[in-house]
Structure 1
Amino acid sequence: MHQIITRKFYMTLASIALAFMILFATAPAHAGSKQLDNIRAAIKAKGGKWVADVTSVSELTLEEKKVRAGLDMEEELSASNNTLDPLTNDLTTVAPATLDWRNEGGINYVSPVKNQGSCGSCWAFATTAALESQVMIFQKGVLIDLSEQILVSCSGAGSCAGGSSATASNFIRDVGLPLESCFGYVGTDNSCDNACVNWPTSTYGIVGWHRASSTTTTVNDIKNSLYLYGPVVATMYVYNDFYSYRTGVYSYTTGAYVGAHAIMVVGYDDINQCFLVKNSWGTGWGEAGYFKIAYSEVTGTSRFGYSTMVYEGHEEPVIIDPVLPDAEITSPAQGSTLSGITAIGVSTPTGSSISKVDLFIDGALFSSDSVTPFSFSWDTNKINNGAHTLKAVAYDLSSGNSGESYPVSVNVANPDPDTTPPTAAILSPAEGSTLSKLVKIKVSATDNLGLSRIEVYYNDSKLIGSSSITGTSVATVISWNTSKVAKGPATLSAIAYDAAGNQAPSKSLNVTLK
């Protein structure tokens, strides 16, 4: 690929080394930039309205790119377990000119962009994202994170070698998906045995699904579905130029066909004549993981939306036992946003002989209480921000039976932990001072959030005194009787502590004790 032209002249060893460093440092960039230059030239020649650039997937090999487009189109189009007939009414006269479910009425109904990695699981990510949006619409924007790995490992809809979003939609309707914490995504086929125990007893699902059209999907079919139901699952053909998309309104420009791909459409824009789409290639591609695609690609080379699946509403987690539970989580409320230390209350039937209540968080036992009223204290700082599920199990002393509460979904939103240390300084005495008898040492401290105390030392390790302090900027005085210490040269220093436990020393001060 690269040629080295040999000339007859003498070179120093340093010159030879430098020549090889330049050659091998610049060669790969040249190969990538040539492909990028060709795409950019084609965009300009065809009057395209998008920008090509180096992205997190543009430099992959062809085989690696094919993995990112893992939709089985034949299986996709043959799956027909729809619930309702496709939409036939044209709502474009009443639908707004723009729609974006990431900001509908000031509320976001779309979960964050994820990354399928080197696994042909786009079909699982697109359908899981659509279910997450249905749940978030039902819960008025409360974030939820559901398990794509369940679809890859347990559904039979596909694997890392590819799959069908239509078959996955049937599974979501009939069985549902648990939280991501039940079976975290690993980017391999994995075994369903590695999912959390009894995961089918607490899943989120859909009422049903249907295709946006029974014939050829049109722009209006997709728009109407978005307007009436929320984000939809769509398919498209992916070509090599798509991997270099950075921003703008994509339309096919150049390059060979790579594969079929599943994505989720989150909105549309009549002004710019495009759909707004969430991909599953991480935030290092496109517009932080999203892309815009021209309406013309519905009938164009990309065949965008050739198969478009519409979800018909969300079903709450299924409880296998239809009988009213023996316990009820009374606080926090369904859909609450929590931070800090939260009290969890559990009520049991009046007159029952409940001996113990266990509290489960995301399917794992958190704590037990054997004293009524049953309550728990949960420090949410010790768990990741995001969606979590609470469930209580009550045990009856007389019968030995147990019963579960209905799950309660909450969103934990704690501020980022304070890792910024405070600052400390000795204001007086001055550097080089001679000290005797009773000395007043004036010190100051600052912190971004809140201070807790300050300590003053001499000769690095001998404590003179300390003072409890509050606020973000404090000056205080600590008295020191120097008559009780050895005379001669000494150093003074201070250490400030903040409320989060961070600490920082002051600059040492040289003094003479007399």
Structure 2
Amino acid sequence: MKRTAKKNNRFGFGWMPDLPDNRDHLYSAPLAKLRVLPTKADLRRHCPRVYNQGDIGSCTANAIAAAIEFDRKKQKLRDFIPSRLFIYYNERSIERSVPLDNGAQIRDGIKSVAKQGACPETEWSYDDTPADSNTNLWPPGAKPRQKPPSSCYKDAKKFRAVSYQRVDRTLSQMKGCLADGFPFVFGFTVYDSFESAEIARTGVLQMPKPREGVVGGHAVLAVGYDDKTERFVVRNSWGSSWGKRGYFTMPYSYLLTDNLSDDFWTIRLVH
């Protein structure tokens, strides 16, 4: 099933599942950490402010930018917001879909920030000019369709992801990654209930109900877990007024079930 950018009145989605690649480096949580996993972990206090992707399908770029900014703060490097539009353009360039707001694959976003880096958003500011709702095609002058200037690519080289791994779909590895102090990006299948006023108010997502409609795919950043509730804490990119100050929780089962989630990636080191 193809999961692409979806247009609605307020927010975009935009996750497309990765294709299998045996060259991916798999993350392995430290054995010492796995032996004594804490019952909960919460990285929210170390996270940058929650972004708002607006009405375009740039969720992968938003989640990856958040992971990069988190790592820069963790490494005590100069803090800045990575240009989400720069990342989203380069993802679509890899996928040869620059004129279209079709979303992107997480792996392509990871590859782009590893090779090209990400310039500060002060150099290539965010713009959520919507594409045509029927064709997903941006008008020629829309900023999301424009290639960033060469100065952005030059500066982006200074800010690259130099260590990243794919996280296996096991509860121990996911929890081990978070307990070790690092978030992970992932994509999940979005059902009708995710757009409800209740989720926007409570930030508590349940498993999809039978016959509930699929509305798209969305990339987010896992930043914690709690064994008592058997839920992950997840950072969204719909602004801080949505959910629990921009965050929500989802059941362990959501991330452990095929066709409900996929493409778990952690960025471990940035320059």
From 56, 69, 84, the counterpart of 2:13: 69
The aligned counterpart of 1:282 is 239
The structure whose RCO (Cα within 8 Å, separation 6+) is larger is 2
**Contact preservation (8 Å) 1:147, 1:183:** yes
How far 1:297 moved relative to its partner? Answer: 1.5
Match of 1:212 among 147, 159, 167: 167
Amino acid at match of 2:37: A
Letter in 2 for 1:93: R
Task: Give the conservation status (yes or no) of the 8 Å contact 2:167–2:173.
Answer: yes
Are the counterparts in 2 of residues 77 and 307 from structure 1 also a CA contact under 8 Å?
Answer: no
Letter in structure 1 aligned against 2:184: V
Equivalent of residue 151 in structure 1, options 87, 92, 112: 87
Q: What is residue 107 of structure 2 aligned with on the other side?
A: 166
Checking the alignment, whether the CA contact within 8 Å between 2:88 and 2:109 is kept in structure 1 is no
Question: Which residue does 1:329 correspond to in 2?
Answer: none
Correspondent of 2:264 among 308, 313, 330: 308
TM-score, length of structure 1 as denominator length: 0.43
Unaligned runs of 5+ in 1: 1-61, 316-514
Which residue number corresponds to residue 183 of structure 2? 231
For these two proteins, the number of residue pairs brought into alignment is 240
**Residue 268 of structure 1, CA deviation:** 1.1
Amino acid at match of 2:42: D
Q: SS at 1:313's partner residue?
A: strand
1:97 match: 39
Mapped to 2, the partners of 1:64 and 1:314 lie a distance apart of 34
CA contact (8 A) 1:237 1:301 kept: no
The corresponding residue for 1:349 is none
- Which structure carries more helix by proportion? 2
Aligned-residue offset at 1:219: 1.8
For 2:68 and 2:203, the matched residues in 1 are separated by: 27
Q: CA deviation at 1:299?
A: 3.2
Q: Which residue number corresponds to residue 251 of structure 1?
A: 206
Question: Distance in 1 between the 2:65 and 2:115 partners?
Answer: 14
**For the residues of structure 1 that align with 2:13 and 2:239, how far apart are their CA atoms?**
14
Contact 1:65 / 1:258 at 8 angstroms: preserved in 2? no
Aligned with 1:149: secondary structure?
A: helix
- Give the letter aligned to residue 299 of structure 1: L
* Aligned-residue identity in percent: 25
In structure 2, do the counterparts of structure 1 residues 284 and 196 end up closer, same or farther at CA, with 3 Å as the change threshold? Answer: farther
Deviation at 1:198, TM superposition (A): 4.9
What letter matches 2:177 in structure 1?
S
Taking structure 1 as reference, are residues 79 and 157 closer, same or farther at Cα in structure 2, changes over 3 Å only? Answer: farther
RMSD: 2.6
For the Cα contact (< 8 Å) 2:10–2:55, is it kept in 1? no
| 1:328 equivalent in structure 2 | none
Per-residue deviation, 1:235:
1.2
Q: Retained in 2: the 8 A contact 1:86–1:210?
A: yes
Amino acid at match of 1:251: Q
Whichever residue aligns with residue 66 of structure 2, its letter is A
2:44 is paired with a residue whose SS is coil
The structure having more radius of gyration, on CA atoms, is 1
**Partner residue of 1:117 out of 54, 68, 90:** 54
Tell me how far apart the structure 2 counterparts of residues 63 and 198 of structure 1 sit (CA, whole Å): 29
Q: Which residue of 1 aligns with 2:155?
A: 201
Counterpart for residue 140 of structure 2: none
Give the aligned residue type for 1:239: Y
For the 8 Å contact 2:184–2:265, the answer to whether it is kept is yes
Q: Which digits, 9 at most, give the CA deviation of each residue in 1:144-187, with x for residues without a partner?
A: 21100111224424652211111110111111111110100102
| Aligned residue number for residue 254 of structure 2 | 297
What residue is the counterpart of 2:73 in the other structure? 136
Q: CA deviation at 1:291?
A: 0.3
1:95-119 Cα deviation digits (max 9, x unpaired): 322211123xxxx2x1111111111
1:150 maps to amino acid: F
In 1, distance between residues paired with 2:102 and 2:11? 7
Aligned counterparts of 1:157 and 1:124: Cα–Cα separation in 2:
13
